[in-house]
Amino acid sequence: MILGIQINEGPYQHQAADSAYQFAKAALAKGHEIFRVFFYHDGVNTATRLAVPPQDDRNITQLWTELQKEHNLDLVVCIAAAQRRGLMDEDEAKRQGKDANNIAEGFRISGLGQLIEAGIECDRLVTFGA
């Protein structure tokens, strides 16, 4: 089965990013394919490389980055939601005249068309968070 995943809630205010990660990991272990993971609304905060959770807590961003490397996942961050929350990759920071970027390794910024494409190409699009 080809799966798409949408994450709408932030990594430390809600269980969505953690539950989505566990779901993705289990689906991959069962041989399913993940077409794309789309981070939307506050879910885009999962993609910041500047968050530093306590040592005894899980690092959701790092977990997604490791899963991305292991399975070559397409981790897409909604550009509009990201800009509203101060998240930018290097290209977008230059385009907006900012002097820094903060997108973690393995994530990329793109538009809502990527979510629509996932809905079309996947057998199931699973949403985590309201």
Residues with catalytic function:
78
Residues found in the chain: 130
**Cβ atoms 88, 82 nearer than 8 A:** yes
From CA 119, how far away is CA 52, in angstroms rounded?
33
**Do 106 and 68 form a contact (C-beta atoms < 8 A)?**
yes
Q: In a 3-state reduction of DSSP, which class is residue 65? A: helix
Amino acid present at 83: Q
